[in-house]
A and B are shown apart, each in its own frame.
Chain A
Amino acid sequence: MTTYAMVIDTRTCIGCGDCVVACKNENKVPAGLNRDWVVEATRGEYPDLQTEFRSERCNHCGHATCVSSCPTGASHYWKDTNIVLVAEEKCTGCKACIAACPYDARLIMHPQGYVDKCTFCHHRVDQGLDPACVSSCPTHCMHFGMLDDRDSNVSRLLRERRHKVLLGETGNDPHVYYLL
């Protein structure tokens, strides 16, 4: 089992949305649909403020509720990894997986009605490349790699920096981490 993770540094993310455009191009995501998006979260009152930008996408959960709720096995883990994919030829478009994702990270994509989502760019990962969003980010605030490898960039960052995940309390075991 290989666990891939994305680690995003909120200290340097500027919310530019390059990751969003890069994903759309790379994966030919149709107009009007998004596999990733950027959230701007501001706390406090003028002039005592904090703003955090977060590039969000599927968390490639260790306990992916979308996979466990899929009645046909169309939603599945890629090879022996935590990368969650949808097998188009098995998908009925029942949308159970959409309802099952606490992150609302799925989308109905193809006009024929199969579900599509962030793939962690497994086609690039397969070639040893970073996902398209990661490799486009102008602030280099996104990192990608294997958690199992203690020496990987992502392992090191998570060891050294304070971080959080989104909605950890759902028990989904998400794998997009945000450095604080």
Chain B
Amino acid sequence: MKRREFLKISAALGAAGTMPTLLGGCAAKPLPGSGVVTTSPTICNMCFWQCAGTLYQEDGRPWKVVGHPDDPHCDGRLCTRGTGGIGAYLDPDRLRQPLLRVGKGGDQQFRAVSWEEAFDHIAQRMQAIAERHGKDRLALFSHGDGGNHFHRMLQAFGSHAYAHPSFAQCRGPRATAFALTYGESVGSPDRTDMGNSRCIVLIGSHIGENLHNSQVQSLARALDNGATLITVDPRFSVAASKSAHWLPIRPGTDIALLLAWMNVLINERLYDQDYVALHCNGFEQLVRHVQPFNPEWAYLETGIEPAKIRETARAMADAAPAALVHPGRHVTWYGDDTQRCRAIAILNALLGSWGRPGGFYSQEKVDLPEYPAPKPDKPATDWKAVLQPDFPLVGTGISNRLVERSVGADAFFKGWFVYATNLPMTLPGARDQIAAAAQSLDLVVVVDTMPAEITGFADVVLPECTYLERFDELRNKPERTPTLALRMPAFEPRYQSRPAWWMAKGIADRLGLGHYFPWQDLSEVLDWQLRQVGSSLDEMQKKGVKRFPRKGPIYFEPGRPIRFKTPSGKIELYSSLLADNGQDPLPRYTPPDRPPEGFFHLNYGRAPAHTFGRTINNPQLFELMPENAVWVHPSAAARLDIASGDYVALENPNGRRSNRVRVRVTERIRPDSVFLVHGFGHTDGRQRLARNVGADDADLMHNVKIDPIAGSTGMRASFVTLKRVGKGELT
């Protein structure tokens, strides 16, 4: 018998719920808000931007969430998903009680258990793993606010390894590249000063579909102020449609374009000479390096006219230093991503935009002391050096690597905690590997709000309550203005769901590690912390958001040298660290793989209505966009004899087939590519709205390119072909 079969959380356990009446059939009268209205502060958790907002209830029933006017993340307005946040709370398909995998007559099943039983089981297995293999054999995968509590519990136990998919599947190459160049990362929220930019260059980043709130707002402000927008995207994205220049680049050739831009800026002496002289290192090497890469050369790679390359380079130079080449965010594309991000970082340095208005500002956060709880011991050995020695420049866990190190009887890891990340849809083409890892692991704990694909691999499923039902740590992010924001429960947790801090503390108690959580309720921690900075929980419950004064200037002072946190103390156009590590110290262009005959580039991205797969089942957002469609250019559609509204399955060269997906024939896509919005194609039948609608891009990715510097997974080198299917087939 298999040790761990993929389990669907069965209907019997889910206890069929009906749609809450609130969503159906309310009278128009009485007028909205004429009842008794109460409010409470929250921080949106519909994505990771963490906008502060206010939840409204009318006569004790959820009414609406709106943005907090004092919050720099949202400037008083939530995005589409944030506005639909109540749907996450109301979702009748939410996980309701702890579940335990049990063997039953040769079959495996989930049994609903009490929290005590779940905790006991977890503690027991953890101790068994520690005895047999060592205390450091548990890995944490986490993408969300509550993950820190599990991190603390695991560190206290002796397992320090963790990974956020927001590194190796998302921002890793950018963080690495900017740290190599400027000694600092771009941060989250991104420190882009778009509202003041005169020229913005978007390399792929599809702000507008990517709804990171203040990014969207500041881009709109820039457009209002007449900034020139240049968008490089193989697809006519929303941002492209707002652009003065759209460069429909051949997929995967961005470094060629970036090198050509540098070539023009340097050879036409359009770069910021004072800035480069004052702040940068390695300019001469760069000048020599870019000489061969003139626009004529780049044209052959990118398909973008030399004249257009020159024109756009000049437009940037005209606006500099208020010219921002946006660093992008999800940048794990073709495996040479750190190099591409380096090229972007260098281009910004040539424009002199780092530290300047309209470029990148410096961020500050509040000096918030940590609660006086005992610190877990430092590990004896550095797990990163053990597990990912080939990526010495990476300071965090590489999720795909941790998964690899969990497969097989002699694998390093013996147990997983998975907090708020749906690994089978998040790691490209890794479904089989995750299933194999689940086979060999002794313990898989999944903490989620929904029955997601990852819960099917769990031994123990712990249902977390949604953000509207819990306290979390204070939000203290680097920002333009240092700001604290509070998330507090507006409702009692529905069903038996509980907050992450409560679970982590409960497990720690079972393990005899309770003293690492020396408080009863997280609110005590928050109140203590707030009092150290002259506020209190009471004040924050009323205010929601509090701003604090800045300490330093937001931009560089003109003419004054800066000490950057790089080896040379300068902006490293030529990266000494890369050279030392045997990598290209200046960005090198590698031509990408081309699709085989009959195949298309598999392009993917965001849609404003959804966050990955986590919102598809949210009734309010499902209603806005119930499925994804595959975008196909009319010429390709004609060749394949398909039309808008037809259903097809996508198939990769290995014969992996997607769920059926609707066709949208549109001019907005290159003839050599198809496009899918990521997050659809849920297979877990317990998500009654989302089940079996649309196609999942992750499962089709067959040609994952590992970045040699960041270890991240390049996801854009995969190809698909389209197979016609009848309606109703494959559902």
Chain A residues with CB under 8 Å of chain B are 9, 11-12, 14-18, 20-22, 24-28, 30-32, 42, 44-47, 49-53, 88, 109-111, 116, 123, 132, 135-141
Contacts and interface: CB of A to CB of B under 8 A. Distances in A.
Interface stretch (B169-177, B209-217, B348-356, B692-700): B209-217
Interface stretch (B178-186, B536-544, B616-624): B616-624
B242 A12 contact: yes
A27 B253 CA distance: 48
Given A42-B666, A138-B213, A28 B78 contact: no
Given A12-B224, A45-B667, A116-B28, A30 B23 contact: yes
A18 B619 CA distance: 15
A51 B211 CA distance: 18
A50 B211 CA distance: 21
Contacts of B83: 18, 21-22, 25, 136
Given A31-B623, A46-B667, A116-B28, A51 B241 contact: yes
Given A49-B236, A49-B668, A26 B32 contact: yes
Given A28-B63, A46-B236, A49-B668, 7 more contacts: A11-B223, A21-B83, A26-B64, A28-B32, A110-B27, A135-B77, A140-B224
Nearest to B211: A16
B33 A25 contact: no
Nearest to B247: A47
A135 B83 CA distance: 12
A21 B211 CA distance: 15
A132 B32 CA distance: 11
Nearest to A119: B28
Contacts of B63: 25, 28
28 contacts: A9-B224, A14-B208, A14-B242, A16-B608, A17-B608, A17-B609, A18-B78, A18-B608, A21-B83, A25-B64, A26-B32, A26-B64, A28-B28, A31-B19, A31-B623, A42-B236, A42-B668, A47-B248, A49-B236, A49-B246, A50-B241, A51-B668, A88-B27, A88-B28, A110-B28, A136-B66, A137-B77, A139-B217
B356 to A, nearest CB: 25
Interface string B661-694: 0000011111100000000000000000000000
B583 interface: no
Given A123-B32, A138-B77, A139-B220, A20 B19 contact: no
Nearest to A121: B32
Given A123-B33, A136-B78, A21 B624 contact: yes
Contact of A31 (B24, B28, B33, B666): B24
A32 B624 CA distance: 9
Interface string B305-317: 0000000000000
Nearest to A9: B224
A46 B670 contact: yes
A21 to B, nearest CB: 4
A71 B234 CA distance: 54
Contacts of B22: 28
Interface in B642-673: 666-671
A44 B213 CA distance: 30
Interface of B: 19, 22-29, 31-34, 63-67, 77-80, 83-84, 86, 208-209, 211, 213, 216-217, 220-221, 223-224, 236, 238, 241-242, 246, 248, 608-609, 619-621, 623-625, 633, 666-671
Q: Which of A109, A110, A136 has most B Cβ within 10 Å?
A: A136
B78 to A, nearest CB: 7
Contacts of B25: 30, 110-111
B46 to A, nearest CB: 11
Contacts of B670: 46
Contact of A138 (B26, B64, B217, B246): B217
B330 to A, nearest CB: 18
Closest 3 CB pairs of A and B: A139-B220, A16-B608, A51-B241
A126 B221 CA distance: 29
Nearest to A16: B608
Contacts of A139: 216-217, 220
Contacts of B80: 16-18, 20-21, 138
A124 B200 CA distance: 37
Contacts of A17: 80, 608-609, 624-625
B32 A27 contact: yes
A132 B67 CA distance: 12
Nearest to A137: B77
A21 B608 contact: no
A19 B449 CA distance: 27
Contacts of A16: 79-80, 208, 211, 216, 608-609
Contacts of A11: 223-224, 242
A87 to B, nearest CB: 10
B623 to A, nearest CB: 6
A49 B5 CA distance: 49
A147 B582 CA distance: 67
Contacts of B31: 123
A46 B671 CA distance: 9
A79 B624 CA distance: 33
Nearest to B248: A47
Contacts of B224: 9, 11-12, 140
A136 B216 CA distance: 13
Nearest to B241: A51
Nearest to B207: A14
A140 to B, nearest CB: 6
A51 B609 contact: no
